[in-house]
Amino acid sequence: MYNVCGAIAKAENEKVLADLETEREAKEETQEDLKKEADSRKEAEKKVKASEAEISEIKEAKEKADTENKKIAKDVEKTAADLTKAKKEADKLKSDIEKEKEAAAEAMAELQEAKDRAEKAEADLAAEVARAEALQAEAEDVKARASIKVAELEKEQEAAVANQVVKGKRGSTVEATGEPQVPTWSTGLMKCCAKPGGVGLCVKGFLCPCLILGKMNASLKLDGSAPCPGGCPGGCCLGCVCAPCYMCKAAPIIAQSAGRDEKKFKACLCAACCPCCYITQVQRELLIVKDGGGETSPKAEAPLQETMGEGGEGGEEAMGAKKSSTVVAAEPGASKWSTGLLKCCSQPGGVGLCVKSMCCPCLITGKLNGYLQEQGSPGCAGGCKGGCCLGCCCMPCFMRKAGPAVASLAGKEEGKCRACMCGVCCPCCYLGQVYRESLILTEG
């Protein structure tokens, strides 16, 4: 029994030992599996870490690529904007070049026109120089003949004085008292309506002495002895500012050209006390000198000086050539207009035109501007209405354009300065004169 129990216990012990060995082997296998699993897990972790590193690198590369793509996109957009802007600038530059080409063409045309005008001006200047040289030669010739004439008159005067002395010695009733007393001027100071000049010169002297001073200065300018520079405009403006100072220089010169003597103090005093009468007296003497003696001289011989009328006197005739040894002078009273400035009731127009120009000159300026607009050279914009409103607002400015325009249509010449001064001094008379000329042109 004990043997059986021992055998059973031994068998059970052996079984337990076998089970323990089996468990130990299983545990060893399990440990090996766990070790393998730990190794594989470590390898997996390494792979995971490597994968995460690769993923982070890929992510960084992707972010960098996205950043570069965005930058490239911005650069592309900026480049496209720059290209658009460059295209616009190119189009603008192209249009500017076209405009510059057109401007250059216009400038070339203007330059050609300026060149043509310059050539024409040079030709005109050469003609004027030749004309001035011819006039200077003629003036020198006239001066030479005048000096010869003065010498002959002095000899005749000396011979007359000698004859009077001889007759006195022989008991004649005539006594020689030295040189005969000759008055300074051919006409008296109060002879306002004396010839040449007459009533017209008298009225000008009282109403508009600046015109007389202008003509006087223009005539003296030919001899180089004008008191004021600028010819007719200079005498008209500067001479009228201080008439005594002007006449203090002009009167002795004119008296000397007439073979007489006038003191500067006397001239200044007369011009201060009675300017209008004295100016007309000196102007009459100048006309007599021009006319070679005029109506008041008993010996009307060749004139001492040709008239170069600046203001309408002797315009075309003064340019005439010499005929043998006689110089043909211009008529002192020749006018630019078909009717006189003070012929207010002349035809066409008559008394009605005179009344309109005095009472309502706007009607005349309107009609005159309408006529000039038809001819292509209006004085004001707007035709008849413009002339009626604008022309009457500033008569001198309107007449400064209208007067020369009508004179040009009539084949004559009128200075702008003279037209403006007439529009200032006697606007109604001058307006009527110019409008009468337009009526004459209209009637053909």
Same domain as 381, residue 416: yes
Same domain as 235, residue 155: no
- Interatomic CA distance for residues 43 and 23, integer angstroms: 29
Same domain as 283, residue 193: yes
| Assessment of whether the complete model's pTM goes beyond 0.75 | no
Same domain as 197, residue 157: no
Angle between helices 427-443 and 416-425 (to 10 degrees): 120
Of the CA atoms within 13 Å of residue 324, those in its CB half-sphere come to: 2
Q: Is residue 58 part of a domain?
A: no
Same domain as 361, residue 284: no
- 326 phi, psi to nearest 5 deg: -105, 130
Q: What is the pLDDT of residue 322?
A: 35
Q: Is residue 401 part of a domain?
A: yes
The number of folded domains in the chain is 3
- Interatomic CA distance for residues 291 and 151, integer angstroms: 20
Per-residue pLDDT of the chain (444 residues; tens, 9 = 90+): 777 777 888 888 888 888 888 888 888 888 888 888 888 888 888 888 888 888 888 988 888 888 988 999 988 999 999 999 999 999 999 999 999 999 999 999 999 989 898 898 889 888 888 888 888 888 888 888 888 878 887 787 777 767 655 444 444 433 334 444 456 788 877 677 788 888 788 888 878 888 888 888 888 887 777 788 877 887 788 777 788 888 888 888 888 888 888 888 888 888 877 788 888 888 888 888 877 654 334 333 333 333 333 333 333 333 333 333 333 333 333 456 888 877 778 888 888 888 888 888 888 888 888 888 888 877 778 778 777 887 777 888 888 888 899 988 888 888 888 888 888 877 888 888 999 998 998 886
Q: What is the pLDDT of residue 292?
A: 67
| Structural domain ending residue among the three candidates 107, 138, 167 | 167
Same domain as 294, residue 194: yes
- In degrees, to the nearest 5, what angle opens at C-alpha 34 toward C-alphas 29 and 38? 150
| Structural domain ending residue among the three candidates 110, 137, 167 | 167
Q: What is the pLDDT of residue 320?
A: 38
Same domain as 152, residue 194: no
Q: Is residue 173 part of a domain?
A: no
Q: Is residue 394 part of a domain?
A: yes
Q: Is residue 423 part of a domain?
A: yes
- 300 phi, psi to nearest 5 deg: -90, 95
Please give the structure tokens belonging to residue 371.
Answer: 């006529």
* Cis upstream peptide for 180 (omega within 30°): no
Same domain as 139, residue 198: no
Same domain as 239, residue 139: no
Please give the structure tokens belonging to residue 294.
Answer: 């005029």
Q: What is the pLDDT of residue 97?
A: 92
Q: What is the DSSP string of 382-413?
A: THHHHIIIIIHHSHHHHHHHHHHHHHHHTT--
Q: What is the pLDDT of residue 293?
A: 52
Q: Is residue 84 part of a domain?
A: yes
- Domain range for 95 is 72-167
Q: What is the pLDDT of residue 311?
A: 36
Same domain as 123, residue 82: yes
Q: What is the pLDDT of residue 180?
A: 45
Q: Which amino acid is at 146?
A: A
Q: Is residue 325 part of a domain?
A: no
Same domain as 203, residue 160: no
Same domain as 267, residue 226: yes
Q: Is residue 24 part of a domain?
A: no
Helix (H, G, I), strand (E, B) or coil at 326: strand
- Interatomic CA distance for residues 331 and 378, integer angstroms: 33
Of the CA atoms within 13 Å of residue 278, those in its CB half-sphere come to: 21
